[in-house]
Amino acid sequence: MLSCGADGKHVYFGVWEDLSDRFPIDLMRGYVGFTETWEARPLSRIERVDVATKKHEILFEEKYWISHINLSPTDPNRMTYCHEGPWNRVDHRIWGLDISSGKTWKIRPCS
């Protein structure tokens, strides 16, 4: 899924390592491979493309399944993303990312 930044200059998206050669995956019909994908800790990236120049950048990457890339509607340097997987096994679901610095944080810190 694509997302546009608040300033309209970039398109953002998340990608993760294709694991379909290791086990069956069909996340649209019954979450086939959902737990297996989480357990495999695929390399995931948050990337952006400059709309004017087509320049591509990798903004953030880690060995954890990332999805649900959401840009701030008002701040072009802020976004959220999710650690995907079984709800009771994910380390922390929703994270923030400062695009300028690369700093990440838990949106709702656990006590």
**Using one digit for the tens of pLDDT, what is the confidence trace for 28-72?**
666 767 788 889 999 999 999 999 999 999 999 999 999 999 999
Q: In this structure, is residue 85 part of a structural domain?
A: yes
Nearest in space to 99 (alpha carbons), one of 54, 49, 60, 68: 60
Distances in Å between the Cα of 94 and the Cα atoms of 21, 57, 66, 74, 97 are 28, 22, 10, 19, 10
Residue 96, number of CB atoms within 10 A of its CB: 14
Q: In this structure, is residue 23 part of a structural domain?
A: yes
Q: In this structure, is residue 111 part of a structural domain?
A: no
Q: In this structure, is residue 24 part of a structural domain?
A: yes
| Domain of 20, in residue numbers | 3-106
User: What's the pLDDT at 49?
Assistant: 98
Question: Structural domain tally of the chain?
Answer: 1
Q: In this structure, is residue 92 part of a structural domain?
A: yes
